[in-house]
Amino acid sequence: MAAIIRMRDVRKTYATGALEVEALRGVSMTIEDGEFVAVAGPSGSGKSTLMHILGCLDVPTSGSYWLAGGDVGELPDSHLATIRNQHIGFVFQQFNLLPTMTAARNVELPLAYAGVPRPQRRERALAALARVGLADRTEHRPGELSGGQQQRVAVARALVTDPALLLADEPTGNLDSGSSAEVLALFTELHAAGRTIVLITHEPDVAARAQRTVLIRDGVLAA
């Protein structure tokens, strides 16, 4: 398998006035194409900073980050925005669905930003919703769906661009145990179908659903 993520000695320092905080202190990590990896650690461990760099929402202070064979560690914001839209699917703890739009229209949004024509957007959005088991909820608005269904809409939106990487940040944090189990089962299915998934979590039982777990503490990978 080819490496889809390759980090070498990644460091991230934030400056607050005269104070500097080193959130990541030399992280090196490789994730192969098709892996399901959990990045786990307590609050303040650096996992959110790592997630932002993995998702091209931020860049390292030093070190290198290669995504799908390309060095993205020092790209300008405009290039990072294109990578986020075309190569990374995001699933967050907050579902981030637009309440006035139907499930199908919410799923279409990344394609609209990419300039995909409306008929193709519609076709791909319906296929993505069917993939997550919501073919009968395409015209429902978020307020008409359960928490678990809303998160599945968010997963469909993340998948609709066929990204190289699915990045999930605490995706079960706002769900009850039943809905959490449904969403984690969906991630397991997607992994079995060959999707590369990185799951950020502080919950050991959620991390246990992944193929491999990477522990982070005080900005350093512990295992």
136-166 pLDDT per residue, tens: 999 999 999 999 999 999 999 999 999 989 9
Answer whether residue 198 is part of any domain: yes
- Domain assignment of residue 8, yes or no: no
User: Which stretches of the chain score pLDDT less than 50?
Assistant: none
Let me know if residue 185 belongs to a domain: yes
Is residue 144 one of the residues assigned to a domain?
A: yes
In terms of residues, how long is the chain?
223
- Angle between helical axes of 147-159 and 118-131 (0-180°, round to 10): 130
The rounded distance, in Å, linking the Cα atoms of 29 and 19 is 28
In a domain, 183, yes or no: yes
The reported pLDDT for the residue numbered 223 is: 60
What is the CATH number for 184?
3.40.50.300
Q: Does the residue 208 lie in any domain? A: yes
pLDDT of residue 43: 86
Question: pLDDT digits over 92-124, tens only?
Answer: 989 999 999 999 999 999 999 889 999 999 999
- 28's enclosing H/E stretch is strand 19-32
Structural domains of the chain, count: 1
Examine residue 9 and state whether it is found in any structural domain, yes or no: no
Question: Which value, in Å, is the radius of gyration of the alpha carbons in the chain?
Answer: 17
C-alpha span between 28 and 11 (Å, rounded): 10
Helices 103-113, 147-159: axis angle to 10 degrees equals 30
**pTM of the predicted structure, to 2 decimals:** 0.91
Phi, psi of 166 (to 5 degrees): -105, 120
Backbone angles phi, psi at 137, to 5 degrees: -125, 20
The predicted pLDDT at position 1 comes to 62
Q: Residue 68 domain-assigned?
A: no
Strand partners, 12: 24
Structural domain harbouring 182? 34-59+75-221
